[in-house]
Every structure is written in structure tokens, then in C-alpha cells.
Structure 1
Amino acid sequence: MSTTMFDSVLIANRGEIAVRVIRTLRTLGIRSVAVYSDADADARHVHEADTAVRIGPAPATESYLSVERLLDAAARTGAQAVHPGYGFLAENAAFARACADAGLVFIGPSADAIELMGDKIRAKETVRTAGVPVVPGSSGSGLDDAQLAAAAREIGMPVLLKPSAGGGGKGMRLVRDEALLADEIAAARREARSSFGDDTLLVERWIDRPRHIEIQVLADGHGHVIHLGERECSLQRRHQKLVEEAPSVLLDEATRAAMGEAAVQAARSCGYRGAGTVEFIVPGKDPSSYYFMEMNTRLQVEHPVTELVTGLDLVEWQLRVAAGERLPYAQEDITLSGHAVEARLCAETVSVKGGARDFLPTGGTVLALHEAQGDGVRTDSGLSQGVEVGSRYDPMLAKVIAYGPDRASALRRLRAALAQTVTLGVPTNAGFLRRLLAHPDVVSGELDTGLVEREAAGLVDTEVPEEVYAAAAAVRQAALEPATDAGGWRDPFAAPSGFRLGGAPAPVRHWLRVPGHDPVAYDVPPGAPAGQVDADRVRVTVDGVTHTFHRSGDWLGRDGDSWQVTDHDPVAAALRGAGAAHGADTLAAPMPGTVTVVKVAVGDEVAAGQGLLVVEAMKMEHVISAPHAGTVTELDVTAGTTVAMDQILAVIAPHDAADGPAEPTGGQEGTS
């Protein structure tokens, strides 16, 4: 096997992972080749690479998922190897084989290893044979719906439905009620088919309050395999990781060594090469009883925390192993020092309806950007100011990582880094993550995979703080101030003073609105300074406390949270309301995306809460349900329709109270 390092590497990915790989390539003196779709023509990874190649239009199937176009880009630029990043084709055995057939080195494991571990059913059988404990569940692949349901009943509720192909929590469904099995199996198949092109499912016993712990492995092409310790990934929402850390406070040295050896055996069982991750589900009260879940045959999103506690650059070792180098480390050479925690920054907003909170993917143009860096802080990002974040790809924008000599220091630094993060124009979860990291159970290390879902309601504010409106009013007040001419004269009658003949000055009223909230009339007292307004900052004092906000256009940001505060015209709004035909009967798109399922037709009778349509955006599904019992009188979309945020989808005319509840016309759908 050759041990000559590559001169040129194509990165078959986008966003923050492409930027991350470029950084290591630059350090090693290797030319980087980026690829981009039309949606990413001005993206950061395009600008930072040495060479960039357009590979097609915005849809991923015609660009980032097109093997033919990726190989053509490699041939045109003289690339010798391909780094797949994560997501897209990173765990696609056919892509790995196609690279080899084209004379390119695929920077990852062999196609056979990808194929074996990518099939969760075969993977479980393989590692079980190697002596690795696995979660009780269905056996055999290709089970139909009835067989899956039978296996679930035999295992006993609750169970977890999982796609055999793919990962990242896509298509996973927790089922506690046996009566919902048929609907949940159908939903899991649909999402698996959409995400991975394969709707094969398996079912596993659900372990209540489990912890998700994974072991990083590194293997060369000469049969040498080591592990680099564990990562705790228990803070999740919808089976998607939000926060990861290394090491885990749950494991003692003996359990760490045992799990590490199990991970090494799992890697050996498939002839693994490169960087990979073996994931375990661990009962929180009995960490010695760990079970293999799956193996990710690629670099993980959370790899930076392992890099920070081991001092190793995992992308560099992916490249070195792919070039044929031997690992120079024995297992005893690997030591963990300090503590690292990572938070995933995603483009999302919080919808609050009826006391419930739903995190929805969103987008926008990055108007102002500040990413935390400095002592013990690292941000891996694909963002740049002026870039538009759309709904076609994954909502993750960046990762903020903090390192410290101990866990408390790392958590403190990460909370501060998230508070410093500014992405005006694109709502993110930075503020939510900062509050999550301050939760007493997180601080104490009492984690499990359901913690976020249980506590989310208390980590999101339902009301807009008064100081936000004060800052928005100050911006508008400053804009009303008359200009000073060359001679230093200002027109006193043009100033917003609230002057009235024969009476005390009136306050200056500003009508303001934050999307998702009722409009507010905010009064600035006469003669009082509204606040200090600079080009990119606003300072206001409310109840004796001074608050500082970042600002850009209609956007204000503070401590990781952001608000778009627009002007509101109450007269125009009243006229629009008088002319509105539907009001609360209208169902609108909660996010920009694509309608994937339509379960009703005009004239159908529906029940309150019945799932009617499914809108998908950024690889997430959102079910649109009937707000009340009634009749479908309008249906403006079909499966495949692309919709904008707040676009009208359907209208449900309510039944009179005397009519009684309607029977549903289709199955009830759970949200993902």
C-alpha cells in the first residue's frame, strides 16, 4: 500500500464540515477542491477552498448526491482522493466503490465495511458473533409491516422503530402505544425512504432513561485498531444530538476500558479502516450493562470534543490512514486530558401553540455574524455574512466547542461562547442551548436521552422581553430625529417630541410586532432618551437595568437569542382582518419546505387534532393537524408542492356544536 500523501483532495460535502476538512488540508499543504450546488455558489466553503466546482442545481439529488457529477469534478480538477465528510454519500458503499473504480482513494473504510455496518440488522448479527452485547430486537431483514408489528408485540412496549439504512435519528420512532404501531411504521418507512432511499426497518426494545455513549475508533490498513475514549451524546431532541461531551461522567476506568475493547472488536469484525464510531445505549443506573446500537462508518459531527481531549486531529489521521500510513500509537499511548463540550447550532425557531413548543427549521440571510473564538473555545462553521440559509439541506450551521481542565470549566466557557454567538437574520437555537447547559441536571451530569424533551418547555420563553421592544423603539426613534445641516441647525418641529398645543407633551407611540406574537404599542415618554443607538448596537434601560443588543435592520440579538421586530400598522391590520375569510380555520405552512403527504381531500370530514398533511424541510417532517372538527373546504396543495412559510395550505370549516365530533377519515400521524 502506498504511503505517499495526496497532493489534491476533493471534499464531497458542504457547509461546516467542508470548511473543517479544508482547514486540515491547508495545514498539511494539500490542495482542497470544493464542490457546490447553485444554492451554495456564495457559500463559505466555496471561498475557502483552493478550487471550487459547480456540480448542479440546488436539489441534493442533482448535486451533492450525484455520484457521476462528483466523480466528474474530481477528474476535471485532478483530485487523487475524496473526503465524504458526513451526511450525503459519506456512508454510501456504491459511492466508495465508484471512487475506487475511478482510481480515487475514498477517505474512509472499504465499501464492504460500509455496506455491512450500514445495514443495522446485519451489523447487530456481526458484532454479536464477535462477542459484543446488543439490544434485544427483531431479527432478519426485509420484515413487512405485519412482521414488524408482531416483533414489537413480542418484545413488549415501548419499542423503537429504526431504519436499517442511514443514521442521525432520521426515521426513528418511539412507540409506547401498541394501537399506534401501524401508523408509526408507515411514517418511519416514509421518512427512511425519503432520507436514505431504503425503507427497511427493524424494531428494538426501548430502554427508559438511557444514556447514549459512543466510542471513537481509529484503524489503519495494516490491522491495527485503537479507541480514543468515549463521548456522551445523551442530550438529544427527536433522536438528534444537541450537545456532546468527552469524557462521560458516567463511566469509570474499568467500564471505559471494557466499552473501548468492545468497540475495537466491533471494528475488527468488519475489517474497518479509518475513523469510525461505535454507538452504545447504556442504562443510566447500570453503566456496566451497555448494548451496541450501531456503527457510524465516517467522521462524526461531534469529533472535535475527542480531538480536544486527546490532542489528535482526526481528519489528519483519516488522510494519513487513507494514504497507507500505519498508526504509531498503542492503546496505552492514548490518554484523555481535561474536558470538552460541543453544542450544535441549528437554524430553527420555536413555535408556541396552546402551551406546546415545537422547534421548526427556518432560514434567512445572515445580516450580522459573530462566532466565538478564543482561549478554550472553538467554532466550526460554514457561515459567512450575507449568505442565505435555505431549507434544502440540514439545518445545522455550526458547532461551538469549549475545552477546560474540568467539566465545570468547559460548561461555563461554552455557555459564554453561545451568549457571544450572533447570527442576526437567521434564528438559531443558541439561546436555548445556553439555557440547557445551565440546567441543574446537565450541570450535575444526571443525563438521559429524554431530558431535553422533558425540560424543553422551561427553557423557551413564550413572551418577548419588554427590553426588546424598548430597543426596537429606540432604533425607530433615532431614525425620526431630524438631520443637522452644514451650519449645525436642526428643525425643532421635525423632532419626535410629542409636542401638543395647550397640553403636556404626549409620548411617542411605536407599533411593533415580533412574528408569532401579538402586536405591541410601545410608548417612549416625552423628553426621555429612548436609548443609545449605534450602527450595530442598541443600549436601553428598563426598570433601572441597562440592556445591550446587537442590531441589523429589523433584527436584535442578545445572549444567543434573536428577534425580528417589524413595524405594525393597526389600521391596515384591522382592514385585512375584516376581509379575511378564514381566520383560525386556515392551516398555513409553519416553515418553508415541501408537502410530502396529503391525507385528505376537499369535502372530507375531519376530527380535531387529526393529521392532514406533512411538510418536510431540512430533513425534518412536521405534521399539519386539524385545529378543530370540521369539513375540508379548501385544499391548495398536493404532494410535492413547494411552500413558503405562512403559505395557506388548507381551510377547515368548523362543525356547529350540535353536530358533534367528526370521525377521522385517515390515520393519525405523529410528529417527528
Structure 2
Amino acid sequence: MTLHTADPAFVFETVLVANRGEIARRIIRSLRTLGIRSIAVFSDADADAPHVREADDAVRIGGASAAESYLKVDAVMEAARRSGAQAIHPGYGFLSESVSLAEACAAAGIVFIGPGREALQIMGDKARAREHVSAHGVPVVPGFDATGMDDALIRLRADEIGYPLLVKPSAGGGGKGMEVVRTGDELAQALATARRVATAAFDDDALVLERLVRRPRHIEVQVFGDAHGTVLALGERECTLQRRHQKVMEEAPAVRLPSAVRERLMDAAVAAARSVHYVGAGTVEFLVEADAVDEVHFIEMNTRLQVEHPVTEQVTGLDLVALQLLVAAGGALPAPPPARGHAVEARVYAESPERGFLPSTGTVLLFDPPRGVRVDAAVESGSEVTGFYDPMIAKIIAHGPDRATALRRLDAALARTVVLGVETNIAFLRSLCTHARVTSGDLDTGLIETMLPLPPRRPSPRMLASAAVLVEAPDDVRVGELWGTAQGWRMGTPPVRASVAFLTDDDEIVETAPDANATAGADAATDAEAAVDADGAIWVSENGTTLRLRPLSRRARLLRRLAAQTTTTGADDPTGHAPMPGTVVALHVAEGDVVREGDPLVSIEAMKMEHPVLAPHDGAVHLLVAVGDQVRREQPVARVDGQETA
């Protein structure tokens, strides 16, 4: 459905987009189509971001971190006043479910493109939402609100409910701060971690504990309400493929869902939205037992547009952002069109699945998105991926007449997607598209965990050949460098190229075959994209797999081999290293404490993810960092001396 500013409901000339990345770009695209002037906001880290250039105007709102910029209601409101915006679209994440922003908009006479205060207050608190929808006949997962309880009382209630349990922040969403507790002994650590992440992400450490459904599917319903009392369900989405409660792939409609269960979900979602007089776009989320799909449990309502909304747009033909604007301006919702076909979305994250999905930061040397499918991207060539924000950098969405076709098209699109300069999960996403359980529709939220750990990826001959071209083609060769070049010459024979060696991120030496360019084919460089970063490392990509290769000279190879031969067998590295660049958010031990192998020493946070550094062996701790320190990847953060035991 296409909407135009000729529609009488459209009264907005200027809309401020209070978000960043692909979210802001997506909203700006609809605003431009509708002829509405767009205002972007940006932090210091995003001064050169694509969404800033694409908007009609942009306003700086603060420092690099979200707390200094995108989460500041006063800064967003001042930007709206300065730009003359009649409305604010909060996107999804950050302030999209903020009562404070909605109230500030109301006080300033600016339209908040989202639901009213009642919906935000009730549904924004998971504990309150559970009680509220339960009173309106919507089934919920057994659990309790831990607000105001100390850890001892929480333990008593948790023991009564039974394990396993899910600990999750009462505010916010996106899986942030969620911890699975399988025994009572794990509860205290899970509570501490969940509170810390919740405070950092949502400025609210209130928690809810719920019984963990054994083999759950995560299915959500897209709802829309208008100011005239109409509430519609625009279909459901399957969001079961996730890791650590963070969605990885989504699709619409849900897989192999009986029509009776689908109707129950639609009715429950509409009932939940009606109970708070909902206006705007929202998502009602449910857990469905994979082995008994008629068991449906409400888990939360997100009072905003969702990251995965494109799959609903693909199967309905609707522009959900345009619908949000229509409803916010007082317009009435039109009758929804029938769904058509199947859509699948893959989230491209800047992370390394082979290294435990650790986030990756750096400069995007090349971003070449696939053609023929929808791409919602946060980056372009030259963009900086920092540790301040979520690691998702793009979404690839494929549509087809049926699920099998959509999955095949998505896999083919991912194979054509090139990202150089940061590690990504593209190769892993391709493995999901072709996984037997995924293609057959046998889904549950633990599926991805069954695929782990992932083996290290090795470069193909074409990847090595493409990387070697960038090593073997110096502008000039000085006499002193002749022995270090890879070329040889003999009278009466063609030149001979020695192998070129690289060091992978798994600390493995890989080499091209002699005369690699000839054996790989003259067009090898066109089959595997490659680029050199500021540190001299070569990034190379082929069929969705990207690797960083560091060239090794002959001397460096020799020194590494000698070092390997002289290393004492069985010696342990006493140092704990940061697994990624980020911020030290917690010290789990004090200087001089005696720890056991595997005990957590410090926690590092980046891109809204927290990772512990564990003791390499038994011994006494010497801390090398403090809370708040910024650390580099592989930077030493603690040393465990000796082999003392407690």
C-alpha cells in the first residue's frame, strides 16, 4: 500500500528521527517517499554516518556513547525545537519505548510517533505487563516480579517456581541482560550480571524471573491500532532462530503453524493491544512449545516497530513506517491486504562466530551489498564500526512464493554480500539457511547452540591468491629488498614465484601454492575481493566468507617456527586477555585473591554485550585494569601467578 501526503491525515512537514544506523536510514527512506522533511540526530561517533548525510538536515546531540547522546531526552527535544519538527519518530531501541520522551513531546506540542502513555507504562514494564494481560485472558509463563526483593527472597521464590529459570530485565528488550539459570547455585551470579547489564542499557535494574520453556519457539504478532478504536493483527513472524535471546534470522509467516494456533495468537495479540487502548505499531511476543504448539504463552509487548518488520512488509506489501505516520496524524487504518508468499531476514552482525560471536570493530574497507533483494544497511564503504552501539550492521531480506524459495534466495544473496574490514557472521548465516533442521522447519530457540562450537574457517586457494596479489605487487623494489621478494628468474625458464605466507586470526600460518596466480587462474582476484587495512592486514572475501590475513615475511616465518620449537611443552600462559575491544565493566576478584582455573576475573562490555575473562589456571590474581578502562583486543587484563590453590 502506498500513502501520499495528499492524504488529509498527513499534517507533518518535518519529522525528527531520534535514532541511528539502519533504523534511521529506513525511516528517512519512507519520509522522503512521502515528501516529508527528515531531521537526523547524531553522536560524536556518528558524525560521518550514512544516516546523517541522507537526512535533509542533522543535529549533533552529544558524545560518543548512547548515554551521552541517543538516550538524552533533553538533547533530542532541543534538536526537535531547533529544527522545527512537528513530530519525532523514535525508531526502535534507545528512546522508542520511553515514557519520558512521550511526555516531553506532549508538553512541547510535538507528536510522538508511538503509543500513548498508558501503553508505554504498562507494557514497558515486563512484570506489570504480565499481570495486566493475564487479567485480560492472555496466557503467561509462570514466574514472578523480583522488584524490591533481596537475593535471599528471590532464591526462595525461584526454588518454588523450579528450574531452569530465565532472569530478565523488567525494562527494555532485545534479549539484553537475560540470563538462564539451571540450578539455584547459579542464581546469584545471574542476578548480578542481569542487573548490571539492565542498568547500563535501560537505567533500570528491576528484574523478572520466569520458568524457562524447554523447547520454545519465539513467535510474535505485528499489531496496529489507530485513534478511532481499530486494532489489527497484520500477521505473525517466526523469530525462533536466536542466540542468547538475540534474534539472528526471522521469517513471515511462522513455520508449520496450525491455523487454529495462528488464530489464538492473533486474538491474544489484539486483546493485549486493546487492553491498553493501543495506537501505532506494536509487537506482541509469545513462546510456543515446539513439541506442543497449542501451548501459547505471552512474554512481552514491544511498544514500537521491530527490527524484523521488513518480513511483514514483504508479505503484506505495506509500508509500516508510513502507517505509523498515518496513525500518528490521526488517520484511520485501512483494511489489511492478504499475505503473499514467504519472506526471510538475516541480521548481519559485526562479530566472529568462530570466536564465540565476539564483536568486531574497525573501518569498513568495502561494503558491496547483493542485488535483487532488500538490504537495510547501517554502513557503507568507509564507515566506522565502533564498540559504542549494537553490532548489527545490515539486514538482508529475501522474498519468494514459498519458504524453500525464500531461503534459497537469501542464501544466494548472502553469498554475494561482501564486507571487508570487520569480521561478520555472513558465512554462519549461510550455514543456517541450508541447515537440515532449518529447511525442514524443526525449530526451537536452542537450535543454534547445537551447531557450536564452530570450526575455524580456512582461506580457499582463490582467497590466498587474491591476497597474494596485494603482497606481490610493490610499486618498486630496492636492491636491499630483492631477497625478500617472491619472484625468481632463471635463464631459459619463466619466472618462478615463491609461496606467500599469511598469519590467520587463529594464529595459523597459511601459504599460497608456488606460482599461485597461475594455478588459481588469471581471474582469481575477481572471484575473491580483497583490501588492505591501515595495519597492513589483508581482508579477503569469497562466497560470504571473510578472513583477515596478516602477511608474513620469510624472516617472520622462520622466527615463529623457531619459537614454536623452543616453547616449553605444557607451559600455561598466566595472562588473561581481553577477547575484544571494549570497556571493563566489572572486577570479579580483588588484587591478590586466589582463584581456580575458569573463575571469572573481569568482564568486558562492547556493543551491548558482556564477556568474562576467565582464570587460565589456579593461582593468585594480579589485576592489570580497573573498572571503566578501555581495552584493546588481546590486551592483558589480569595475570594469575603461581599454581596456588585455595
TM-score using structure 2 length: 0.92
Aligned: 1:232 with 2:238: yes
Which residue of structure 1 lines up, in the alignment, with residue 203 of structure 2?
Answer: 197
Aligned: 1:597 with 2:595: no
Which residue of structure 2 lines up, in the alignment, with residue 420 of structure 1?
Answer: 416
Which residue of structure 1 lines up, in the alignment, with residue 525 of structure 2?
Answer: 538
For 1:501-552, what per-residue CA distance to the aligned partner results, in whole angstroms no more than 9, with x for missing partners?
99998761323112222223445249x7265677xx716xxxxxxxx20112
Which residue of structure 1 lines up, in the alignment, with residue 342 of structure 2?
Answer: 339
Aligned: 1:146 with 2:126: no
**Residues in 2 aligned to 1:217 and 1:182: alpha-carbon distance in whole angstroms:** 37
Residue identity over aligned pairs, in percent, reads 51
Equivalent residues of 1:475, 1:538 under 8 A apart = no
2:317 to 311, 316, 320: 311
Go from structure 1 to structure 2 and tell me whether the alpha carbon gap of 1:499 and 1:4 turns closer, same or farther (over 3 Å shift): closer
Which residue of structure 1 lines up, in the alignment, with residue 4 of structure 2?
Answer: none
> After the TM superposition, which of the residue ranges 144-153 and 44-53 deviates more from structure 2?
144-153
Deviation at 1:466, TM superposition (A): 4.9
Which residue of structure 1 lines up, in the alignment, with residue 449 of structure 2?
Answer: 453
**Residues in 2 aligned to 1:235 and 1:37: alpha-carbon distance in whole angstroms:** 32
Equivalent residues of 1:244, 1:343 under 8 A apart = yes
The residue type paired with residue 350 of structure 2 is A
2:301 to 295, 301, 308: 295
Deviation at 1:463, TM superposition (A): 4.0
1:373 to 349, 371, 374: 371
1:468 to 456, 463, 466: 463
Aligned: 1:397 with 2:397: no
Go from structure 1 to structure 2 and tell me whether the alpha carbon gap of 1:522 and 1:481 turns closer, same or farther (over 3 Å shift): farther
1:106-125 equivalences under 5 Å are: 106-125=112-131
For 1:79-121, what per-residue CA distance to the aligned partner results, in whole angstroms no more than 9, with x for missing partners?
0000000111111111111111111100000122111101111
SS of match in other structure, 1:566: strand
Which residue of structure 2 lines up, in the alignment, with residue 622 of structure 1?
Answer: 611
Aligned: 1:638 with 2:626: yes
Which residue of structure 2 lines up, in the alignment, with residue 43 of structure 1?
Answer: 49
SS of match in other structure, 1:287: strand
> After the TM superposition, which of the residue ranges 473-482 and 341-350 deviates more from structure 2?
473-482
Equivalent residues of 2:344, 2:397 under 8 A apart = yes
Aligned: 1:564 with 2:543: no
SS of match in other structure, 2:188: helix
The residue type paired with residue 401 of structure 2 is P
SS of match in other structure, 1:509: coil
**Residues in 1 aligned to 2:31 and 2:492: alpha-carbon distance in whole angstroms:** 74
**Residues in 2 aligned to 1:533 and 1:499: alpha-carbon distance in whole angstroms:** 20
The residue type paired with residue 632 of structure 2 is A
Deviation at 1:654, TM superposition (A): 3.8
For 1:470-515, what per-residue CA distance to the aligned partner results, in whole angstroms no more than 9, with x for missing partners?
43234423448989xxxxxxxx999854347999987613231122
| Number of equivalences | 626
2:266 to 236, 251, 260: 260
**Residues in 2 aligned to 1:612 and 1:416: alpha-carbon distance in whole angstroms:** 43
Which residue of structure 2 lines up, in the alignment, with residue 348 of structure 1?
Answer: 351
Equivalent residues of 1:419, 1:560 under 8 A apart = yes
**Residues in 2 aligned to 1:505 and 1:583: alpha-carbon distance in whole angstroms:** 46
Equivalent residues of 2:30, 2:321 under 8 A apart = yes
The residue type paired with residue 112 of structure 2 is F
Which residue of structure 1 lines up, in the alignment, with residue 90 of structure 2?
Answer: 84
Go from structure 1 to structure 2 and tell me whether the alpha carbon gap of 1:507 and 1:149 turns closer, same or farther (over 3 Å shift): same
Go from structure 1 to structure 2 and tell me whether the alpha carbon gap of 1:153 and 1:386 turns closer, same or farther (over 3 Å shift): same
> After the TM superposition, which of the residue ranges 579-588 and 178-187 deviates more from structure 2?
579-588
Go from structure 1 to structure 2 and tell me whether the alpha carbon gap of 1:119 and 1:497 turns closer, same or farther (over 3 Å shift): closer
Equivalent residues of 2:223, 2:234 under 8 A apart = yes
1:119-198 equivalences under 5 Å are: 119-139=125-145, 141-198=147-204
1:653 to 632, 641, 646: 641
SS of match in other structure, 1:289: strand
Equivalent residues of 1:160, 1:204 under 8 A apart = yes
Go from structure 1 to structure 2 and tell me whether the alpha carbon gap of 1:351 and 1:583 turns closer, same or farther (over 3 Å shift): farther
Which residue of structure 2 lines up, in the alignment, with residue 544 of structure 1?
Answer: none
Deviation at 1:577, TM superposition (A): 6.3
For 1:154-213, what per-residue CA distance to the aligned partner results, in whole angstroms no more than 9, with x for missing partners?
111111111111111011111112211111111111111111111111111111111000
Equivalent residues of 2:17, 2:39 under 8 A apart = yes
**Residues in 1 aligned to 2:272 and 2:529: alpha-carbon distance in whole angstroms:** 49
The residue type paired with residue 414 of structure 1 is L
For 1:329-350, what per-residue CA distance to the aligned partner results, in whole angstroms no more than 9, with x for missing partners?
2xxx442110000011111124
1:605-620 equivalences under 5 Å are: 605-620=594-609
Go from structure 1 to structure 2 and tell me whether the alpha carbon gap of 1:256 and 1:599 turns closer, same or farther (over 3 Å shift): same
SS of match in other structure, 1:316: helix
The residue type paired with residue 111 of structure 1 is R
**Residues in 2 aligned to 1:168 and 1:425: alpha-carbon distance in whole angstroms:** 26
Which residue of structure 1 lines up, in the alignment, with residue 3 of structure 2?
Answer: none
**Residues in 2 aligned to 1:141 and 1:597: alpha-carbon distance in whole angstroms:** 23
SS of match in other structure, 2:9: coil
Which residue of structure 2 lines up, in the alignment, with residue 510 of structure 1?
Answer: 500
**Residues in 2 aligned to 1:257 and 1:421: alpha-carbon distance in whole angstroms:** 37
SS of match in other structure, 2:406: helix
Equivalent residues of 1:216, 1:227 under 8 A apart = yes
**Residues in 2 aligned to 1:457 and 1:141: alpha-carbon distance in whole angstroms:** 36
**Residues in 2 aligned to 1:494 and 1:144: alpha-carbon distance in whole angstroms:** 66
Equivalent residues of 1:339, 1:404 under 8 A apart = yes
The residue type paired with residue 566 of structure 1 is R
SS of match in other structure, 2:442: coil
Equivalent residues of 1:403, 1:410 under 8 A apart = yes
Equivalent residues of 1:85, 1:298 under 8 A apart = yes
Go from structure 1 to structure 2 and tell me whether the alpha carbon gap of 1:506 and 1:38 turns closer, same or farther (over 3 Å shift): same
